[in-house]
A and B are shown apart, each in its own frame.
Chain A
Amino acid sequence: MYNEKVMDHFMNPRNVGEMPDADGIGEVGNAKCGDIMKMFIKVDENEMISDVTFQTYGCGAAIATSSMATELIKGRSIEEASKLTNDAVVEALDGLPAVKVHCSVLAQEAVEAAIADYRQKKAQKAE
């Protein structure tokens, strides 16, 4: 049901784990629906995402889209990363089954949530 690239990201997920000193943490989804994604980002002084990790509870597609999303934003600026779309995640994975597209939406939202958290924390520090 999954293509080779999705299987690769599911079997060998990139950037898995918690990040104790994250600058931004985003958690989306809920266990009731069977998907939770938690995204951790480390942001350097130039507003670049120097490191990113994730933890995901969910199906194969949820894990693969999380993994791919981390690859797509790693080394990018906050500005660029905030423009990540779910379509870009699907495209980078060479496609997803139609019933799994919502997983890519969750990946986009997880990145957005992590960035929002980072910006909020930054604003708080500035006060």
Chain B
Amino acid sequence: MAKTIYMDHAATTPVAEAVAQKMLPYFTQSFGNPSSIHHVGRANRAALDNARAQVAKALGAANDEIFFTSGGSEGDNWAIKGVMLRDVNRGKKFITTNIEHHAVLHTGAWLEKHGYEVIYLPVNEYGVVTPDVLEAAMGEGDTALVSIMFANNEIGTIEPIKELAEVAHRHGALFHTDAVQAIGAVAIDVKALNVDMLSLSAHKFYGPKGVGAMYVRKGVYLENLIEGGAQERGKRAGTENIPGIVGLGAAIELATENLEKNAAYLTSLRDDMIAQLLEKIPHTRLNGHPTDRLPANVNVSIEYIEGESMLILLDQNGICASSGSACTSGSLDPSHVLLAIGLPHEVAHGSLRFSLGIHNTKEEVDQVVELLVKIVERLRAMSPLYHA
């Protein structure tokens, strides 16, 4: 098998070596339960506090505004259910968008099943949720919560979060953002953005899987999602995943320190790859916003052929990418995000996403483009839709 070229960092990233090293002692040596009175447990209390401070610092939050979770999906579920369930008289409307991650969309469906009104805002052709669309959807005082992702995982579009949060607040609603794809890619200050809740997941920024965090602005009351012990100040039960939390803290610190450098590097790789793909493969379009997009996201639709067949041929050559075609989603419909930006089904089926990482190189980009050109030619030669 050819040498691996991993370009699927939006799915997950490798744990940074320095992060893994920091985690290791907490599996075997410092294994204590932070809730214990004795010294073995107490030792881990400090590790927990330290990680919380690292996350708080990265987001511009106070330490007691950070809660550890199992990842992005839990954060999204907790923020949405936690607000919507807390006081049914406050208002039953929940507003989100039709390009969210399934952790938000399916939580929206759960709310609908339980009698809540949910509005899914449309996006423009670049995948942007414009503040005027939110404005128009906000009824007077009957919306409890607005949840809009910071940046889209498929097409990379970055949303105008500050403006959107302002609209929600003007109408008395709270604002949550799923920032899973944005951490380490975009500078985030929760106070400057004025969001009420933000969820994140460590494995998207070179941290471990199965651990995440949520920022909850002081004064915002959430119902608990997981009941049990008094961990996380009684808001999230369950013995803390100390190695994971230590890894999350170390990873977010590292990602924040290197954010500008990494973003600049990835943006140049991204723009080079997009330019090459559009130039070298005819009948190809860029999906997502040309400039307001994640530094590492390349998403194109290659017409007249289907995504899964391209992915398999790439994989046969060692290259890891992803697609929004139906065949890769396990359903008959292509990605909801690509349909939301107005792509016809057949164009959405031909989408490919390369999400770059800090270890990718210009040589790898060139190699992938060169190979993809051949793959496309080969599949188009087989396609009844393509007439050269």
Contacts and interface: CB of A to CB of B under 8 A. Distances in A.
Contacts of B384: 27, 36-38, 55-57
A123 interface: no
A34 B346 contact: yes
B345 A33 contact: yes
Contact of A55 (B307, B309, B325, B382): B382
Interface string B306-349: 11110011001000000001110010101000000000111001
Interface string A1-45: 010000100110100100000000001000111111110000000
B128 interface: no
A102 to B, nearest CB: 9
Contacts of A32: 344-346
A58 interface: yes
9 contacts: A31-B345, A32-B345, A33-B345, A34-B332, A34-B346, A36-B383, A36-B385, A57-B306, A58-B327
B187 interface: no
Contact of B382 (A2, A13, A59, A100): A13
Interface in A88-116: 99-100
B326 A34 contact: yes
B308 A57 contact: no
Nearest to B334: A34
B150 interface: no
Contacts of A34: 306, 325-327, 332, 334, 345-346, 349
Q: Nearest 8 pairs between A and B by C-beta? A: A31-B346, A59-B327, A55-B384, A59-B308, A38-B384, A34-B349, A32-B345, A57-B383
A57 B345 CA distance: 13
Given A33-B345, A34-B325, A58-B309, 9 more contacts: A7-B312, A10-B312, A32-B346, A34-B345, A35-B306, A55-B383, A57-B304, A59-B327, A60-B309
B226 interface: no
Nearest to A27: B384
B330 A99 contact: yes
A63 interface: yes
Given A27-B384, A34-B349, A38-B384, A63 B309 contact: yes
B193 interface: no
A11 B382 contact: no
A42 B192 CA distance: 70
A59 B331 CA distance: 13
Contacts of B334: 34
A112 B341 CA distance: 37
A36 B307 CA distance: 14
Contacts of B309: 10, 58-60, 62-63
A37 B384 CA distance: 7
B382 A16 contact: yes
B382 to A, nearest CB: 5
Interface string B173-190: 000000000000000000
A16 B379 CA distance: 11
B19 interface: no
Nearest to A13: B382
A33 B316 contact: no
A3 to B, nearest CB: 13
B305 interface: yes
B381 interface: yes
B44 to A, nearest CB: 41
Given A16-B381, A34-B325, A60 B308 contact: yes
Contacts of A27: 384
A25 to B, nearest CB: 10
B388 to A, nearest CB: 11
Contacts of B346: 31-32, 34
